[in-house]
Structure 1
Amino acid sequence: MQEFDIVLARKVLASQPFSSLLGTRVMVFGDGEAELELDIREDLQQQNGYLHGGVLAYAADNSITFAAGSVLGPAVLTAGFSIQYMRPGTGRTLLARASVVHAGRRQATVRCDLFTVADDGTQTLCAVAQGTVLPVPKPA
């Protein structure tokens, strides 16, 4: 079995057309941790100029799945997640930092903090998510 490391994690992310469309990058991966980032662009904003909630939800979902995959293996799917939006997303970069809270053989529970990063590097927490990830059987 191939080791699931940051190189493979980046290949997995690059194979996702939607992630490529958004320009998402894997910055940290391994030991129950994952950090994804993407540039905040005008075409990802809603009508008031804030980062669209759907982009925040996507980043939470994907980082939760990658964090769980680092302990469960690469064949995983999100079973469900919830997100709480705390403040509008503004800045130059979105950072989704996820960590496994608990992992067993059948599932992992993962928390994700979503930050926007300003031009000066200041990180502002804008949402918090939690999800459950399940391993899936490999196709025959």
Structure 2
Amino acid sequence: MNDDARLQALARRIFAAQPFTQMLGATLESAAPGATRIHLPLRADLLQQHGFAHGGVLAYLADNAITFAGGMALGGDALTSEFKINYLRPAQGEALVATANALAAGRRQAVCRCEIHALRDGTRVLCAVAQGTVLPAAPTERG
């Protein structure tokens, strides 16, 4: 198995092992060196009182997409050290898609950027952008 295939298999195992992710119903659409895409169908229980996706749902997507992109760039399991999110417009529609890419990666950290789009009536609407720093998981946290 080559390194790309090993990393993709690791990403899929980690994603499947996240109880919160499974509860939300997110799927890992793609994982490649330094990049990832996560899809989340919007349901009524993920909305806030105005009918928009709750900000915490968008923050989850940004955090997870950034972490997976960083982990893929760093070559293994990773954790988010910090991230910042900008909410650009209300997220409404059938689903949300978070796409993240590593902007720079070294041995000890990766800096990643994420865009979150709402899919509404066949149109993609940019709802949020985020940037974060990802660190390799400590050996005791890798299980």
Scaled by the length of structure 1, what TM-score is found? Answer: 0.93
State the distance in 1 between where 2:135 and 2:112 align: 11
Tell me, in whole angstroms, the C-alpha distance in 2 between the residues paired with 1:119 and 1:11: 32
- 1:78 and 2:80 matched: yes
Q: 5 Å matches for 1:40-119? A: 40-119=42-121
- The whole-number CA distance in structure 2 between the counterparts of 1:20 and 1:78 is 19
Structure 2 residue identity aligned to 1:40: L
**Which 5+ residue runs of structure 2 have no aligned equivalent?**
none
Instruction: Give the match's secondary structure for 2:139.
Output: coil
Q: Secondary structure at the match of 2:7?
A: coil
Bigger helix share:
2
Matched, 1:128 2:129: yes
Aligned alpha-carbon RMSD (Å): 1.6
Aligned equivalent of 1:4, options 3, 7, 11: 7
Aligned-residue offset at 1:119: 3.0
1:92: Cα distance to partner? 0.4
Q: CA deviation at 1:28?
A: 1.3
Instruction: Give secondary structure in 2 for the equivalent of 1:67.
Output: helix
What's the CA shift for 1:11? 1.9
Q: Do the aligned residues in 2 keep the contact of 1:92 with 1:116 (CA within 8 Å)? A: yes
Q: Displaced runs of 4+ in structure 1, greater than 6 A?
A: none
In 2, the alpha carbon distance for the partners of 1:63 and 1:43 equals 21
TM-score for both structures, normalised by structure 2 = 0.92
Aligned length: 138
* AA matched with 1:4: L
Q: Is the 8 A contact 1:91 1:118 kept in 2?
A: yes
User: Percent sequence identity over matched residues?
Assistant: 49
Unaligned runs of 5+ in 1: none
Tell me which amino acid in the other structure corresponds to 1:26.
Answer: L
Once the two structures are superposed, residues 3-52 of structure 1 have per-residue CA deviations (whole angstroms, 9 ceiling, x without a partner) of 211x3322211100000000110111112110001100100000000000
SS of the residue 2:67 aligns to = helix
More deviation, 122-131/24-33? 24-33
C-alpha deviation, 1:73, in angstroms: 2.6
